[in-house]
Amino acid sequence: MGQVRYTPEQIIHKLREVDVLTAQGKAIKEACRQCGIGDKTYFKWRKEYGGLKLDQAKRLKDLERENSRLKRLLADAELDKAILREDASGNF
């Protein structure tokens, strides 16, 4: 069975569903099972998306994507600098 990837919107919706079910008196494990997620997944998601609204979650994912792109660019630039420094220090 393959792993399901949820979008931030779906994650927030699932978190809200579990909150509603627990407010109705169900245990967290039971509420998670009804929503189709594991309790470990629920706690991981709650840690990351706990108090976020839908637009904030989208913004968070966009910023994470942009941050990883910028880190790759910086790593490439540092590699280029190291190569040029190595070439410049050669014996001529």
57 inside domain: yes
| Residue 77 included in any domain | yes
pLDDT digits (tens, 9 = 90+) for 20-67: 999 999 999 999 999 999 999 999 999 988 888 888 888 888 999 999
Is 67 within the bounds of a domain? yes
pLDDT of residue 92: 53
- Is 56 a domain residue? yes
Residue 3 lies in a domain: no
Q: Domain span at residue 34?
A: 8-88
Q: How far apart are CA 85 and CA 90, in angstroms?
A: 9
pLDDT digits (tens, 9 = 90+) for 77-91: 999 999 999 888 875
For 23-34, the pLDDT digits (tens) are: 999 999 999 999
User: Is residue 37 included in any domain, yes or no?
Assistant: yes
- Count: domains in the chain: 1
